């Protein structure tokens, strides 16, 4: 993909390779001739082997070289932007030498590959140099960049570590005395998006009430966790205690636990997020290559280059990747699990792993639960047609897929019960101690919020003015088509000429729709944001839609990609750092 040599193409009459896979750029009609009835992409035998066998096979060849280069390039870009944001520490440091140290082996590898003069050992030497440089760069970044101010996942990870320790350590158990399960070890440093409720002791026979105030905080109507509304006079309260929780899904915190056990509250969530963001760029390339080599997209290596660059640096993925913070870390990690899920789910190739990645996905970003229809489609519509046979095998693969989803899903429901005494309440109702009027009036999801959310997604523009700073961006974001203008091409596909092509087109748009709808009905536009950040939940599917559209990537398409780089690069550098460019208002 990095190589600039043109892709090899062959005539439709030329037999396919022994592997039964198609070189990217093949004629449109060619994949359909060799597809098994229950497949939508052509794969060779190794594609269906175990992960361990496939990893050993990849390491023996050069399939892993280009993905590692993508990871290295993305790491360099994201870490440079994170350092630029550290304006108060932007001074010369020997640590900056890690950036050219990482770029040098990338450039050497690409140059040697272009001129076809590199031996296999030469290429591997470049990649070893890249690995060493990346290790040093990430280590330096941990010391140079600062953790964000919104360490919700870190607080929850520390709490869960203490809960585990309390089962065998008396000192840890003493820290948890009087605390509810998953109640934070310490009060948060601010009040932004922490879930909490009040515990009121009225003494005597009146007992204890737990819930939130509906009137002024401390007097009047009080809604209990059970949903009952009572009137409480503040003069009758003998003692009160506010209990704090993290209402965001816990998968990122679970993965952070061993690291937080070492660093405590000094854990650097910015570098953590950058690592997963760089991994996303690599995974996006792997998904595009799978679809191209499998004959589904017909894309050349150069096309996949542009689409991967678009995904990593021309969308909300860029500015979300360099911020850290609970909201953006969740979005970036959600993309990681989505890409792994997509890679495994296509044609039900790896059902258990697909289920595991999806489970981690909706344990990071709840709307990703709805992307389960991507796997279900291959169960019931193999090859794009209603299943007529092999129901036993299909149901077995479906069971393997559902197993990790059920285990993780039941664990999340259990967490709801032990924290908020309700199987469906995950905690967002109790943000700001339940004092948000719009949630009290309309709930978390309501059609009342649709028009504003649609505007944030589709039509919201910045304000332009003749004097400095010339452009003002609403913290409710900007239209998806302004931050990533290439998405206009989503609606300009080539004609769908085959059943499988039509199946993929409908499936991808269906996944986008069912994932987008909850956010469009949600009580928050995504504030505060540079662009419409909730689109990250279905961003990989949008990129794949562009890939399967089969429309040639014209010079205008590439200009739009470059514009996306510029716009989102501006957001990556200025959002939450240069307040002069941003206002809280919702621009109409």
202 in a domain, yes or no? yes
Is the bond preceding residue 528 a cis peptide, omega within 30 degrees? Answer: yes
Q: Quick check: 320 pLDDT over 50?
A: yes
217 in a domain, yes or no? yes
Long-range contacts of 349-357 (CB under 8 A, 24+ apart): 349/43, 349/47, 349/48, 350/51, 351/375, 351/397, 351/398, 351/400, 351/401, 352/400, 352/401, 352/403, 352/404, 353/51, 354/401, 355/400, 355/401, 355/402, 355/403, 355/404, 355/405, 356/404
pLDDT at position 63, please? 65
Q: How many domains does the chain have?
A: 1
- Which is more confident, 409 or 1? 409
238 in a domain, yes or no? yes
pLDDT at position 97, please? 61
How large a percentage of the chain has pLDDT more than 90?
60
Mean pLDDT of 231-248: 91
- Which is more confident, 561 or 135? 561
Q: Quick check: 33 pLDDT over 60?
A: no
Q: How confident is the model at residue 200 (pLDDT cuts 50, 70, 90)?
A: very high
Mean pLDDT of 493-511: 89
237 in a domain, yes or no? yes
pLDDT at position 272, please? 96
Instruction: Say if CB 373 and CB 509 are below 8 A apart.
Output: no
- Which is more confident, 11 or 509? 509
The model's pTM is 0.90
Mean pLDDT of 50-58: 60
What b-and-e string marks burial along 199-228, b requiring 16 or more CB atoms within 10 Å of the CB? ebebeeeeeebbbbbbeeeeeeebbebeee
Residue 175 tokens read as 């820290």
209 in a domain, yes or no? yes
For 312-341, what is the HEC assignment? HHCCHHHHHHCCCCHHHHHHHHHHHHHHHH
Instruction: Say if CB 47 and CB 327 are below 8 A apart.
Output: no
How large a percentage of the chain has pLDDT more than 70?
84
pLDDT at position 172, please? 87
Residue 75 tokens read as 């790491």
Q: How confident is the model at residue 296 (pLDDT cuts 50, 70, 90)?
A: confident
Mean pLDDT of the chain: 86
- Helix residue ranges per DSSP H, 363-498: 373-380, 391-420, 437-442, 450-458, 480-483
Mean pLDDT of 362-371: 97
Q: How confident is the model at residue 84 (pLDDT cuts 50, 70, 90)?
A: confident
pLDDT tens sequence across 464-477: 989 988 999 999 99
- Which is more confident, 136 or 393? 393
Residue 370 tokens read as 């709805």
User: Sign (positive/negative) of CA torsion 15, 17, 18, 21?
Assistant: negative
The domain in which residue 238 lies consists of: 195-245
Q: Quick check: 55 pLDDT over 80?
A: no
pLDDT tens sequence across 154-179: 999 999 999 999 999 888 899 899 89
pLDDT at position 109, please? 61
Give Cα 438 distance to the centre of its chain. 27
219 in a domain, yes or no? yes
Q: Quick check: 112 pLDDT over 60?
A: no
233 in a domain, yes or no? yes
Q: Quick check: 479 pLDDT over 90?
A: yes
Q: How confident is the model at residue 398 (pLDDT cuts 50, 70, 90)?
A: very high
Give the strands of the sheet with 463-464, arranged side by side.
Answer: 463-464, 471-474, 582-583
Q: How confident is the model at residue 11 (pLDDT cuts 50, 70, 90)?
A: very low
Q: Quick check: 90 pLDDT over 70?
A: no
226 in a domain, yes or no? yes
């Amino acid at each position: 993909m990095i190589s600039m040599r043109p892709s090899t193409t062959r005539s439709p009459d030329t037999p396919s390779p022994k592997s039964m896979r198609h070189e990217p750029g093949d004629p449109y009609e060619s994949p359909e001739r060799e597809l098994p009835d229950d497949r939508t992409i052509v794969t060779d035998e190794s594609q269906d082997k175990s992960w361990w066998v496939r990893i050993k096979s990849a390491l023996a060849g050069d399939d892993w070289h280009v993905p590692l280069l993508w990871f290295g390039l993305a790491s360099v870009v994201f870490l440079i932007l994170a350092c630029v944001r550290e304006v108060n520490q932007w001074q010369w440091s020997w640590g900056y030498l890690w950036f050219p140290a990482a770029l040098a082996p990338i450039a050497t590898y690409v140059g040697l590959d272009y001129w076809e003069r590199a031996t296999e050992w030469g290429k591997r030497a470049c990649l070893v140099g890249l690995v060493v440089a990346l290790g040093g760069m990430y280590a330096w970044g941990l010391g140079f960049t600062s953790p964000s101010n919104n360490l919700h996942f870190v607080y929850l990870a520390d709490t869960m570590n203490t809960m585990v320790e309390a089962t065998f350590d008396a000192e840890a158990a003493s820290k948890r005395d009087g605390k509810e399960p998953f109640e934070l070890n310490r009060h948060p440093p601010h009040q932004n998006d922490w879930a909490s409720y009040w515990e009121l002791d009225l003494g005597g026979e009146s007992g204890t009430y737990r819930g939130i105030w509906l009137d002024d905080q401390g007097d009047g109507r009080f809604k209990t966790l059970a949903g009952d509304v009572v009137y409480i006079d503040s003069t009758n309260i003998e003692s009160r205690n506010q209990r704090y929780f993290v209402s965001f899904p816990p998968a990122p915190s679970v993965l952070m636990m061993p690291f937080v056990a070492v660093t405590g509250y000094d854990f650097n969530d910015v570098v953590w997020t950058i690592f997963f963001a760089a991994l996303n760029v690599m995974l996006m390339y792997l998904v595009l290559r799978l679809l191209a080599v499998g004959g589904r997209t017909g894309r050349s290596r150069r096309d996949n280059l542009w689409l991967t660059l678009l995904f990593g640096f021309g969308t909300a993925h860029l500015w979300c990747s360099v911020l850290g913070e609970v909201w953006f870390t969740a979005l970036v990690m959600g993309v990681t699990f989505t890409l792994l899920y997509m890679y495994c789910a296509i044609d039900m190739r790896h059902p258990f792993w697909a289920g595991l990645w999806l489970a981690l996905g909706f344990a990071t970003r709840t709307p990703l639960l709805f992307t389960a229809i991507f796997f279900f489609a291959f169960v019931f519509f193999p090859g794009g047609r209603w299943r007529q046979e092999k129901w036993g095998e299909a149901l077995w693969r479906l069971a393997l897929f559902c197993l990790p989803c059920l285990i993780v899903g039941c664990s999340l429901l259990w967490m709801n019960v032990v924290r908020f005494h309700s199987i469906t309440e995950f905690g967002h109702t109790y943000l700001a101690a339940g004092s948000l009027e719009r949630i009290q009036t309309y709930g978390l999801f309501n059609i009342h919020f649709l028009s504003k959310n649609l505007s944030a997604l589709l039509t919201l523009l910045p304000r332009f003015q003749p004097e400095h700073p010339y452009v003002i961006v609403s913290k409710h974001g900007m239209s998806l088509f302004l931050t990533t203008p290439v998405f206009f091409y989503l609606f300009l596909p080539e004609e769908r000429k085959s059943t499988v092509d039509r199946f993929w087109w409908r499936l991808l748009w269906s996944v986008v729709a069912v994932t987008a709808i909850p956010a469009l009905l949600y009580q928050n536009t995504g504030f505060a944001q540079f662009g419409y950040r909730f689109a990250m939940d279905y961003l990989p599917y949008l990129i794949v839609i562009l890939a399967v559209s089969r429309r040639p990537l014209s010079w205008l398409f590439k200009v739009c990609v470059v514009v996306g780089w510029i716009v989102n690069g501006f957001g990556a550098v200025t959002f939450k750092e240069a307040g002069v460019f941003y206002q809280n208002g919702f621009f109409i």
